[in-house]
Structure formats: C-alpha cells, structure tokens
Amino acid sequence: MNRSILRLAIPNIISNLSVPLLGAVDTALVGHLEHVYYLGALAVGSVIFNFIFWGFGFLRMGTTGLTAQEYGKQSRSGMMMILARVQFIALGIGLFILLLQHPIALFSLWIIDSTQQVADYTRVYFDIRIYTAPAVLALYGLNGWFLGMQNAKYPMIVTIVMNLLNIVLNITFIYGFGMHVDGVAYGTLISTYLALLLAIFLFFKSYHKYLSHYIKTELINFGELKKYFAVNRDIFIRTLCLIFTFSFFTAVSARQGDLILAANTILLQFWFIASYGIDGFAYAAESLVGKFSGQRNYKKLKTAVFYNLFWGLTLGAAGTFIYLIFGNQILHLFTDNQEVILLSQSVLFWTIIAPLVSSICYILDGVFIGATKTQPMRNTMLAATFLVFLPAYYLATPIFGVHGLWLAMVLFMISRGVALGSYVPGKILSITKNAK
C-alpha cells in the first residue's frame, strides 16, 4: 500500500509544490519592485482569481473521485464519458466567465476595499489574466481525470511545464521589458494555454483508444449529470467557504494598510507551499479511495485511509520543523523591505505551526472526495467558516490585532480536521465490516 501511495503522492507533491513556487517567485519578483502597492495589487488580483477558479475546483476534485470509481469497475465507457462531460461543462463555464468579466471586476474591487493605487493595478492584472479562464477549467478536468486513472505522472508534467514557463515569462517580462503586474498576468496567460495543449497531447498519446468508447447521445445524460452535480454541489459549497475565508483574510489585511497586506501576503505563501505539499497525499487518497470504493474492496480502502493520514501528518511535522529553523531566512527571499520583514517576523509563529495543524483536514478532504461522500465536507466547512473562523476573528482581533486574524485562521484549520475526523467512522470506515 505504501508503494501505491508514494507512486501517486510523490508526483503530486512535486507538481503541487510548483504551484506555490510560482506564487512565491511572483511575490518575490513584485516584492522587489520599487512600490509596495504592486505587491498589494498582485495579492488582491490573486484573491479574485482564487475566488473565480477555486470555486470551480470541483471540475478537478469531483472528476477524480468519479473517474477512479469507474476505473475500479474497469468501465471504459464510464471513464470516457466522465471526461467528455467535464470538458463540456468546463468550456461552458469558461465562456460564461469571459462574458461577465467586467461586472466581476467591478464587484470584486468594490468588495476588497484597497487603496486606489492597489485597485488600479489590480484591474490591469485582472483584465489580462481573465482570458485564462477556459484553459484553466479545461486543465482542471483533464488533470482530475488523469488522477482518477491512477496516473499522477501526467498532471505532474503538465503542472511543472506550465509553472516553469510561467516563471521564465514573468522574469522576462518584468526584467527584460520593464513590466510589473501586467508582465505577471501575460506570463500566466501564455503558459496556461501552452499547458493545455501539452495535456491534450498527452491524452492522445496514451488514451486515444478510449475515444472509441465515447457515446455522443450519452453526453447530455441527465441521470449522470445529476449524479455529477450532486457530488460537485457539495464540493462547490465547501470550496466557496474556503475561498471566502482566504479572501476575507486578504480583504481585512488590505483595509489595515499596504504594509500589513504585504506581510500577510508573504506569509500566506508559506501556508500555500505547505498545503500543496501535503495535498500530494490528499490526491493519492482521492485516487486510491475512489479505486477501492469502485472495486468494493473495503479492506484496502481502510488501509489507504490510515497510511495517507500517517504520511500527511509526517510531512506536516516536517514543514513545521523547516519553518521553525529557516523561517526568518525564507522571509528575506520574498522581500528586502525591512518594515515588511519586521512585521512578518512578529506573527511568524502562526505560520510555523500551520503545516502540522492543517495536515489532517487536507488528507481527510482527499478521503471524502475519493469516496464521493461529499456532504460531510460541505457541513464541516460551513461550520468551520461561520461558527469558528468569523467569531474567532471578531472576538480576537480587537484584543490581539493582526495576531487575532492569524489565530482565527489556525482555529479554522483545526476545526475542519476535528469535524471531518468525527465523520470517518460512520461515513468511511463503517463499510469495512463487509471487507473482502
């Protein structure tokens, strides 16, 4: 089992870490420019696109679990039709986002009350990057399908190539052409579409035979679409809560001034790096739990849950240790602004403990996605957001200032893990009594 987990997790960890690496490089590039409001614009722009794109993360997550179950059943037509439907849905949503780009920008900048300079440069960034929408959503579907097919190698290749291209283009545009946030946006736009072409090439290279199992009349099968959206409705609500929490965090930081916004933006990169690493095992859990659910092999399912939790906690503890020893040195890689560094150091403690306390909820998300038991994810996320995070913020911030905001975020992660863990015996492990 450990070999199967690592075979899936290691490529996922490598590809996942390239995502926050890109964010870290972008933050470092912009953080070393002359004006701090460039960094604020990048932060606000990233929040807007996180809200837009993460909200449709079910195109990746829901596709993995459902495809893995069809893979366990060895139903080629089932696997192919899931891919066809998710691409059809992704294209429709992507085009719809492009049609609504202007009101989305106005509403987003109205919600996030930043300084005028930050808002102006955020709009520059937004107006370019919004055209990535169709490609981003199509990649969600393709990468989710690859993972469901127990293939973590292809998403790794696609993600690494895309992010390396993005980094090279961003450096070229900023240092070669004297651009700022517009250079970052153009780098993202170009690299995303090149990555989509690569993913399509890889599909035809290894899975072209599955095209013969495509059934045109089954594309709009209302029974299957209802099943797909039933699973993804809960993932969508869960993801919206997650986006809301991080967006609220950034919006509150922006209202407290450009200095706090810049410091919190950098520290969030630490969180993202740790979370994307641990998510490698969460993705492995999605693939394996989905496969064993499809096979009705509940003994292996139980083992997969246990070992993925073990590996996730181990990696989380390693992340906490690294931040404890090297946290101050890492800060200097992001910026040379002494005020930002001093403020970041004053709240670094919350970032140090984050990988360990967050690891359980990350892994359990993968378990429930693979089993397509998505209602507990929805319920626990709603509770963590509105019964823990927001009350903690409003109670703690007047007393502890910026520390209260970080305390609320840590409590949010802990409550998610505890609440999801309480569902495991009844929703996941109870089915092991009929184990093979």
pLDDT tens for each residue of 273-305: 888 889 889 988 988 888 888 878 888 888 888
Written as one letter, the residue type at 321 is F
Q: Is the Cβ–Cβ distance between 22 and 162 less than 8 Å?
A: no
Of 7-21, 90-104, 228-242, the poorest mean pLDDT is in 7-21
CB neighbours of residue 116 within 10 Å: 8
Q: What angle do CA 250, 13, 323 make, to 5 degrees?
A: 55
* Per-residue pLDDT at 435: 43
Pull the structure tokens for residue 364.
Answer: 């359990």
Closest CA relative to residue 279, chosen from 27, 61, 56, 55: 61
Q: Whole-prediction pTM value? A: 0.76
381 Cα distance to chain centroid: 15
pLDDT of 111 higher than 80 = no
Total domains in the chain come to: 1
Distances (CA, A) of 38 to 46, 181, 191: 12, 7, 22
* Per-residue pLDDT at 309: 92
265: buried, middle or exposed (CB in 10 Å: 19+, 13-18, 0-12)?
buried
pLDDT of 19 higher than 70 = no
* pLDDT range class, residue 434, cuts 50, 70, 90: very low
Consecutive H or E run containing 226:
helix 222-255
Residue 256 phi, psi (nearest 5): -90, 0
Of 148-152, 202-206, 226-230, the poorest mean pLDDT is in 226-230
* pLDDT range class, residue 415, cuts 50, 70, 90: very high
In whole angstroms, give the CA distance from residue 40 to residue 119: 9
Mean pLDDT of the chain: 86
Pull the structure tokens for residue 293.
Answer: 């659910």
**In-domain check, residue 51:** yes
Largest CA distance in the chain: 64
pLDDT of 272 higher than 70 = yes
pLDDT of 347 higher than 50 = yes
Looking at residues 336-358, what average pLDDT do you find?
89
Of 31-35, 147-151, 214-218, 334-338, the poorest mean pLDDT is in 31-35
**In-domain check, residue 262:** yes
In whole angstroms, give the CA distance from residue 201 to residue 158: 10
pLDDT of 20 higher than 60 = no
In whole angstroms, give the CA distance from residue 146 to residue 422: 30
* Per-residue pLDDT at 349: 92
* Per-residue pLDDT at 22: 66
Higher pLDDT, 404 or 19: 404
pLDDT of 433 higher than 70 = no
Higher pLDDT, 179 or 377: 377
Higher pLDDT, 19 or 281: 281
In whole angstroms, give the CA distance from residue 157 to residue 73: 27
**In-domain check, residue 436:** no
Q: What percent of the chain has pLDDT over 90?
A: 37
Contacting residues for 429 by C-beta, under 8 A, at least 6 apart: 302, 305
* Per-residue burial over 269-286, b = 16 or more CB atoms within 10 Å of its CB, e = otherwise: bbbbbbbbbbbbbbbbbb
Looking at residues 134-159, what average pLDDT do you find?
93
- Residue 191: which domain range? 2-431
Give first-to-last CA distance, the chain, whole Å: 16
